[in-house]
Structure 1
Amino acid sequence: MDIRTFGDLIDWTRQLHGHLAACLRHCRDSQQEERVRYLMDYLADHEAKLEATVAEFEKQAPARALKTYVYDFLKHQPIKAHDDCNKPFAELDYAAVCRLVFDYHDQVMALYNELMGRAEIPETQELVGSLLEMEEHEAMRLARQTERMDDL
């Protein structure tokens, strides 16, 4: 996806969460460990909810913020998502699945952090700040939940 505006960036983030949810669901049945299958179900549901949440940001954001150009800030696609999800999640253990999902979230948060300092208009600063806050909150919640699941 060619990211030119903050609107494109938000749409790309939404798609990333959706892609991650789809991969987790797709690989779930190939996973041998029942505990990891439950984790993948939980993570897929969580990512699908994040996709819907980001879509709401897209709908409610001021048009001026969405149309602000961002391409000067991004030299390349900021996050590399694997295209083929047949193998990665199906062959990972519990901790590795968590690390991979957390890595996606860490990359999104790092990107938003970088953009926070470069956003020039208040509407864009507020939008990116809200998205960053939501991603941070959800990452913390996800970490707590997966730790609890691991304890069981």
Structure 2
Amino acid sequence: MDIKTFEDLIIWARELHTNLSQCLSECSTKNQDERASALLTYLAAHEAELARITDEFDKQADPKALNTRVYDYLDNEHKRIKAHQSCDGHYANLDFDGIAREVFAFHDQLIDLYDSLAGKAEIPEAKDLVESMRTMEENESMRLASQVGRMNDL
């Protein structure tokens, strides 16, 4: 997806979460490890919720922020984030820890991207928007880490 505005960024991030959710869900029925399968099911639901939350940014953000051009200071970081546009099924072959590592790495990349964009935003409304998106990702990652840790203890 070609990201030109902060609204495009929100749509792109929502699609990332949606696609990851669908891929995790698809792989949950194929993974032979019961713990890994349960983790995939949980993560799929969590990613679907993140897609819903991300969509709210589009509905509630200041129009000035949504229409602000972002492509001038978007480097290739967003292109390096694995988009999961087509599920290759590899989550079906990973163990619990491998799945957790990949999903946390995905969220860390989004957080880093949002952090970078917040530092480059030219208007306060755009900076506030991307900082809010970063805070949401950080909070959800911490919540996810707590839940995954509990699942791992079982």
Category of TM-score, reference length = shorter chain: over 0.9
Identity of aligned residues (%): 51
Are residue 143 (structure 1) and residue 149 (structure 2) matched? no
Query: 1:122 — aligned with what?
Result: 124
Deviation at 1:74, TM superposition (A): 1.9
Deviation at 1:73, TM superposition (A): 1.3
C-alpha distance after superposition, 1:29-82 (max 9, x if no partner): 110011111111110000000000000111000111011011111233252324
Query: 1:80 — aligned with what?
Result: 82
Shift in CA distance, 83/60, structure 1 to aligned 2, threshold 3 Å: closer
Q: Secondary structure at the match of 2:152?
A: helix
C-alpha distance after superposition, 1:71-96 (max 9, x if no partner): 11123325232444243100000000
Q: Distance in 1 between matches of 2:2 and 2:82?
A: 13
Query: 1:40 — aligned with what?
Result: 40
Please list every run of 5 or more consecutive structure 1 residues that lacks an aligned counterpart in the other structure: none
Deviation at 1:114, TM superposition (A): 0.3
Q: Aligned letter for 2:150?
A: R
> How many residues of Structure 1 are paired with residues of Structure 2 in the alignment?
152
Residues 64-75 of structure 1: pairs in structure 2 closer than 5 A = 64-75=64-75
Which of 102, 105, 116 is the matching residue for 1:103?
Answer: 105
Query: 1:89 — aligned with what?
Result: 91
CA RMSD of aligned residues (A): 1.1
Deviation at 1:120, TM superposition (A): 1.1
Query: 2:134 — aligned with what?
Result: 132
Q: Aligned letter for 1:28?
A: S
TM-score between both structures, scaled by the size of structure 1: 0.96
Query: 2:19 — aligned with what?
Result: 19
Please list every run of 5 or more consecutive structure 2 residues that lacks an aligned counterpart in the other structure: none
Q: Which runs of 4+ in 1 moved over 6 A?
A: none
C-alpha distance after superposition, 1:85-113 (max 9, x if no partner): 24310000000000111111000000000
Q: Higher helix share goes to which structure?
A: 2
8 Å contact from structure 1 (residues 27, 86) kept in 2: no
Further displaced range: 83-92 or 49-58: 83-92
Q: Aligned letter for 1:63?
A: P
Q: Aligned letter for 2:125?
A: E
Are residue 50 (structure 1) and residue 50 (structure 2) matched? yes
Q: Secondary structure at the match of 1:57?
A: helix
